[in-house]
Each structure stands twice: as structure tokens, then as C-alpha cells.
Structure 1
Amino acid sequence: LGALFGILVAHGVSGAHLNVVWSMSLSILGRHPWRKVPLYALSHLLGAFLGAATVYLQYYGKISTVFSGGQLLVAGPNATAAIFCSYPAEHLSFWGGLVDQVVATALLLICCLAVVDRRQGRLPNGLAPVLVGALILAIGLSMGSNCGFPLNPARDLGPRLFTFIAGWGEEVFTAGGGWWWIPTVAPFVGGLLGTVIYELLIEVHHLTTPHEEQSPGTLYIMD
């Protein structure tokens, strides 16, 4: 639902990318200018940081006093850092986490490219955001137990930077064997993989010519 409403709010202004991996994918396909990607990435990072700050402000009393007894912890039964960003489950190895994020983000990009591919058939107005929201829900339900399915570098790094500043300290970057860089880097790898798979196995094999050109930025993505 968060992704769905985020898309509805922002799509008229920016295409509601909400995830720089999607911006990168569109740029690779020539549907989005590369010069805008850094600005989109910075905007996503700032938005995620401010979103984490908003959550902390709303639940300050619960987080800082009631639940954790005045301590802001990254690990243990009273840890609260995972409210804001992802950490690996105990069973997840370093390589397992890397594979998890590459596979999940590749799937995300494959399905989102299918949603906006007009040669697959035009969707009724307003249905695309619903499908994207349902896709994220499906990925979360089926792949979320390993590390919370970040899928989005800014969605993880922005809140992690906030927790570092707000009092959780440098452990937010050292926990899980330096886990933080996997949800920051692996989604780009998965996004590139998903884009190449869809382009080579689906899009170049369409039998019909689209009646109108692919829109350069009108869909979306998020978390």
C-alpha cells in the first residue's frame, strides 16, 4: 500500500520512480536521461532519511524508553534498529544475502518492465500502481524472511544513516559482518540482471510493433 500510494502521489511530477534501480534500468534502455539519475538517487536517499526521522519522531517514547529501556540497540531481543533498515536473519550467510537481493531485485525489474511494456497489452488506467504494489507484497511475503527484502538502496541506506546519527552508532554499519553494503549494492546488480533478462528474452522477441512509443519514465518504482 505504501508503494501504491507513493506512486499515485508522485507519478504526475516525476514518473514516481521511487527507486534509483528503476531509474538506472530505464536509462539503460534509453527511456530516461542519465543526467537525471544522480538527482533522483539523492532525492530518494533524502526522502528515505526523512521518512525514518518521521517514524522516530512519532514513536520516540516507545522506542527510546518503553521498549528498549533507554538504550538504542542494534542486536538482541530489545533491538530497535531493524525498525528502520534491514539486517540479516541469523540463518543468512554473507553470500546467501547477496544472492537473495540479486534474485529479488531482478524479479522486481522483470515484472515491472512487463507492467509498462505496451506490447504486452495496455493496462486500464490506474491499474499499474496496483500491480506494482501487489508485486512488492508478493516479493515480501515469499522472500522477506531472509533480510526484510530491501530491494532499494536508498530505502535501506537513508534510514541507516539516520539511525547512525540518531544514537544507534557505528554498529548499524558493522552488524551482520558489514551487512549494510549488500542492500546498497546488490539491488543494482539484480536490477541490471533483470533488465537484461527481460530485454533479451522478452522484449526483442515481440511479434508486433507498438502503436506508440514506450513512455520514458511513467512507471514508477519504489518500495
Structure 2
Amino acid sequence: MVKLTKKDFQDYFVKFVAECFATCILILIGEGGIANYKFARQPTHSTLPISLSFAVGVYSALMIAGSISGAHLNPAVSISLLTIKKMKPIQCLFYVVGQILGAFFGAVLVYTVYRNQFNEFDGGIRQMTGPNGTADIFFTMPGKGISYFNTFIDQVISTSLLMIYIMAITHKKNHLISEVAKPFAFVLIIIGITSAFSVNAGAALNPVRNHFDLTGFQRDFFEI
């Protein structure tokens, strides 16, 4: 049985709060970028504005929580570090729960900010897919004609690329980049991956973006 000391709990709780708040900021800026893109009815099909929004969201989150928790922001990152014993199981649990809650709060804020735009876009009748669908603001889904196997391969490759990059950048023997430049390096990889792997399944690199549909939540529970 793993014993959790008071000191450990305090340390994990502080990092839990940091992960929660930083992930909230990431989702707020990133999904806000998606909502702005959709509701502005952009004539171009370029998703670069969305990629930039998530990249800036990651940079902002790193500035907020990087010195406190390392700003994992993503269960895939925390669980990967757990598998190589760079995190303890209970510590990882605190991180993942914080990230999930933070993502939910961020999505709630996006919905709150754009509530009138939702009603203007779909006439107050929430739809997941179709011309007036808005669920894709809050989570990713396969593109038209894309099989589940294809999306599986897409996610394995894109998430593996992200994790390889993170491990390489943060390795103690990597002297090619300074600590100051690392946040900018993460910005570039997010822009690169989301620009290169967004058509198949929306470049769903972060599981916390895919756990809840606020459009359905609002329709079924709030009825506003």
C-alpha cells in the first residue's frame, strides 16, 4: 500500500491546482479559436488560426504552470512519464484529474463567452454534426470518409511525434536549446503537428479535449 504523507499531499495538491488552471487557459484559448473560426464563417479552409490559438494556449499555460508542475497539460504526457517512472502513480492521478477538470472549466468558459453566437449559428437548436453542428468546438471527430482504423493510425503517429519531441527537448543531455527557448520550441511543434495532422481527426493530441460535449450538456440539463 502506497503511503501518502501530508507533505506529499500538499505538494500534489499545489500541482493539481496548477495543472487545472493552466489546462483551463489552454482550452479557453484553443477552443475559443475554434469557436471564433466557426462563427466568423471564414471563407478560407485554412486551419492555421486554430493551430496558432492552441500554440499560444500552450505557451500561456507553460508560463503559468511550468515552474510549478512542469505544465504537462495533457494526460498522455503525464501517463507517459509514469511509464518511465518519472512520476509516482498517485502524483500522476492528481495531474490527470486536474487536467480533466481544467479542460472542462475552459470549455464552459468558451461556451459562456460565445453563448449568443451559438444561438445565432444554430437558431438555439443544438446539433452535434451537420451544417449547424457545434460539437466539434469541444471535441474532435473523424473527418468525412475517414475510417476508425485510419484515425487510429493518425493518432498513434501524431501523438508519438509529440512525445518523442517532448522527451528530446527536455532530456538533460540536450544542450542544443536553452531553458528560455523551450516554450517557443513547444509552440512550433504544436503548430507543426496540428497543421500536418488535422484533416483526419482534428489532431486530437490531448485526451482532455475529447471527454465532454457541452452542446449536449447545455441542451439536456440547462435548457437555456
> Structure 2 length normalisation: TM-score?
0.70
Residue in 2 aligned with 1:98?
Answer: 152
Distance (Å, rounded) in 2 between the aligned partners of 1:147 and 1:168: 26
Instruction: For residue 118 of structure 1, report the CA deviation from its aligned partner.
Output: 2.1
Query: Secondary structure of the equivalent of 2:144?
Result: coil
Distance (Å, rounded) in 1 between the aligned partners of 2:177 and 2:160: 22
**Which ranges in structure 1 are unaligned for 5 or more consecutive residues?**
170-223
Output aligned runs, 1:190-209, within 5 Å: none
Distance (Å, rounded) in 2 between the aligned partners of 1:34 and 1:122: 32
Distance (Å, rounded) in 1 between the aligned partners of 2:185 and 2:80: 19
String of CA shifts for 1:101-157, please: whole Å, max 9, x gaps: 111101100011000012121532321111111101100001111111111111221
Q: Does 1:30 align with 2:85?
A: yes
Distance (Å, rounded) in 1 between the aligned partners of 2:104 and 2:89: 24
Residue in 1 aligned with 2:194?
Answer: 140
Instruction: For residue 21 of structure 1, report the CA deviation from its aligned partner.
Output: 1.2
Distance (Å, rounded) in 1 between the aligned partners of 2:154 and 2:113: 32
Residue in 2 aligned with 1:162?
Answer: 214
Q: State the percentage of identical aligned residues.
A: 31
Distance (Å, rounded) in 2 between the aligned partners of 1:142 and 1:72: 30
Which of residues 105, 109, 117 is equivalent to 2:163? Answer: 109
Alignment check: 8 A CA contact 1:73 1:80 kept: yes
Computed over aligned residues only, the root mean square deviation of the Cα atoms, in angstroms, reads 1.6
Q: Cα gap change, 1:80/1:161 in structure 2, threshold over 3 Å: closer, same or farther?
A: closer
AA paired with 1:75? T
Residue in 1 aligned with 2:126?
Answer: 72
String of CA shifts for 1:62-110, please: whole Å, max 9, x gaps: 10x2110111101111111111111111121011111111111011000
Aligned residues: 166
Residue in 2 aligned with 1:49?
Answer: 104
Residue in 2 aligned with 1:190?
Answer: none
| Structure with greater contact order relative to length (CA < 8 Å, sep ≥ 6) | 1
Instruction: For residue 30 of structure 1, report the CA deviation from its aligned partner.
Output: 2.1
Alignment check: 8 A CA contact 2:74 2:99 kept: yes
Query: Secondary structure of the equivalent of 2:187?
Result: helix
AA paired with 1:148? G
Alignment check: 8 A CA contact 1:92 1:146 kept: yes
**Which ranges in structure 2 are unaligned for 5 or more consecutive residues?**
1-55
Query: Secondary structure of the equivalent of 2:67?
Result: helix
> Structure 1 length normalisation: TM-score?
0.70
Alignment check: 8 A CA contact 1:140 1:149 kept: yes
Alignment check: 8 A CA contact 1:44 1:154 kept: yes
Residue in 1 aligned with 2:114?
Answer: 59
Query: Secondary structure of the equivalent of 1:145?
Result: coil
Q: Cα gap change, 1:105/1:111 in structure 2, threshold over 3 Å: closer, same or farther?
A: same
Alignment check: 8 A CA contact 1:49 1:161 kept: no
String of CA shifts for 1:184-206, please: whole Å, max 9, x gaps: xxxxxxxxxxxxxxxxxxxxxxx
Distance (Å, rounded) in 2 between the aligned partners of 1:66 and 1:123: 47
Residue in 2 aligned with 1:129?
Answer: 183
AA paired with 2:207? P
Residue in 2 aligned with 1:3?
Answer: 58
